[in-house]
Structure formats: C-alpha cells, structure tokens
Structure 1
Amino acid sequence: MDDHDGGRVGQLRVEDPWTGAPAVGPWEEPHAVSDGWAVAAGGDRAAVYREVQAGEEFRAVRRRYRRFAFPASAVFFVWYLAYVVAATTAPGLMGRPVLGEVNVAMVAGLAQFVTTFGLTWAYARHARLRRDQAALDVRWETQERTR
C-alpha cells in the first residue's frame, strides 16, 4: 500500500463537485425545490435565464461577438488555406529565396504565427472594449434576479 492512503485497503473515492449541479436548459424544466434550484425570488431560475436570453442586452452582446468572430475566423481560415494550397501547388514560388536561405514558404509560415498572435490580441481588445462590460451587466442582472 502507498503511504498516502494510510495503508487502508478499499475503493478509491473521487468526489465529483458537479454531481449535484443543475442541468437546466430550454429542453428541461428545473427539478423539485429540494435541490435548491427550482425557485428564485421572482419565480424559477430557468424562466429568468430564458427571459434574459430573449432580452435586448443579451442579444446585443451576442451580436457584437458574432460581428467580430465570424469574419475574423473566415479571413484567418482563407489565409491558412491559401498558404497550404500555395505550398502544395506552387513549390517554385514557395521555394524562391527572399533573404539568403530564407524562402517565401518560411516567411509565410512565420506570418501564420504572427497572424495568430495578432488575431488573439485583436479578439481580446475587441472583447475588452465592446463586450465585457455589457456581458458583466447582463450577468449581474441575472444573478440579482435569481437570488
């Protein structure tokens, strides 16, 4: 036996903190009041979350997210795909030297990393300036209504 279990023989117990967590969504109504989830100050929590989700503030946060994430993802995907297609179909172009032993393929490959970091920075900046405060406001309102 190992020293950490005191030499006791038995089954290893792992307690899952999510065992009693509620699983309430648009497909499922909350369980009985005994689990501490079903009733909030102004009604049941599921109704509060559905109402907040249908609200204009929540939709505005989602809209701001989509306006950035979808175009940025599409542009990055096209850029990546262009690199892969060029590497497979135009080996002469990709093998052309740029500076000494550094060729076009190496520059484009490193540009993929630079683009990834740039996109990450732009996403974090966009979230900080356009969504974070509004999302926190929606979260605060939801938490206040479910107490």
Structure 2
Amino acid sequence: MPGFPAAGPPGGPQRSSAETYAQVQASPEFAALRRRWRGFIFPVSALFLIWFLAYVLLSAYAPGIVNTRVGGSNITVGLLFGLLQFVSTFAIATIYSRFAEKELDPEASRLRAEVEDSL
C-alpha cells in the first residue's frame, strides 16, 4: 500500500505496530483527516458552549427574561430555552453523524485498511 510499507518478509525483520501507528500519525493523509475533524468539532463545540452558557447566565442574572410567560400560558422563556438545549444537542449529534459518515469515515476506513495490511 502507498505510504505504509509491509511489515517485512516472513522470517525477516518485522516492524512493530508502534512503528506502523507512528508512521500513520505522521502521514499527510492522517493530518488531513484530523484537520477536517477539528474543523467541524471545534466551531460546533464553541457555538454549543456559548448557547449553553447564555442559557445559564440568563437563568442566573436575568430572571425577568427567563420568567416571562409566552402567549399568556404557563410556558416561560426559560422553559423554552431549556427544551431547546435538548433539541440542539440531538441536532448536533445528527449533523455530526452525517458529517462523519460522509467526510471522515471513508478516509478513516482506507487508512485503517492500509495499516491492517502492513501489520
């Protein structure tokens, strides 16, 4: 396989799995995969943390806003924000799952197959 030489001929010197994994980690393909993963994870995590902290800070420091009733019912803005936390969590999980399946998994599977072939 390109980039990952085989472990060696039978009876000859064998490469350890640690050497193989170190070589994979240093490869440009692995670096590109990590860059794509980080390009998704860091911004989405930051946005979610900002959203969550806004909810917590509003609850702590702006009780007038979170206690505001919506449409004359017993539902408050704080309750809606709390429920939207669950919705956003499931939405992020779904979006990440689709992203990983489309953008990360094919390359990760290819790298895994190359490593398994070289061991």
Give the TM-score normalised by structure 1.
0.70
1:47 is aligned to 19
What letter corresponds to residue 141 of structure 1 in structure 2? E
Where does structure 1 lack aligned partners over 5 or more consecutive residues? Answer: 1-39
Larger RCO: Structure 1 or Structure 2 (Cα < 8 Å, ≥ 6 residues apart)?
Answer: 2
1:92 maps onto 2:64 in alignment: yes
Supply the distance in 1 between the matched residues of 2:110 and 2:49 (Cα, whole angstroms).
Answer: 33
1:75 to 28, 32, 47: 47
Give the TM-score normalised by structure 2.
0.86
* Cα-Cα RMSD: 1.1
Larger radius of gyration, structure 1 or 2? 1
Supply the distance in 2 between the matched residues of 1:76 and 1:122 (Cα, whole angstroms).
Answer: 13
State how many pairs are aligned. 107
Supply the distance in 1 between the matched residues of 2:16 and 2:60 (Cα, whole angstroms).
Answer: 57
2:84 is aligned to 111
Where does structure 2 lack aligned partners over 5 or more consecutive residues? Answer: 1-6, 9-13
Percent of aligned positions that are identical: 40
Q: Which has the higher helix share?
A: 2
2:105 is aligned to 132
Please identify runs of 4+ aligned residues in structure 1 that moved more than 4 A. Answer: none
1:12 is aligned to none
For residues 42-99 of structure 1, the C-alpha deviation after alignment (integer angstroms, 9 at most, x for no partner) is 5222211111110111111111110001111111001000000000111111111113
SS at match of 1:97: coil
SS at match of 2:70: strand
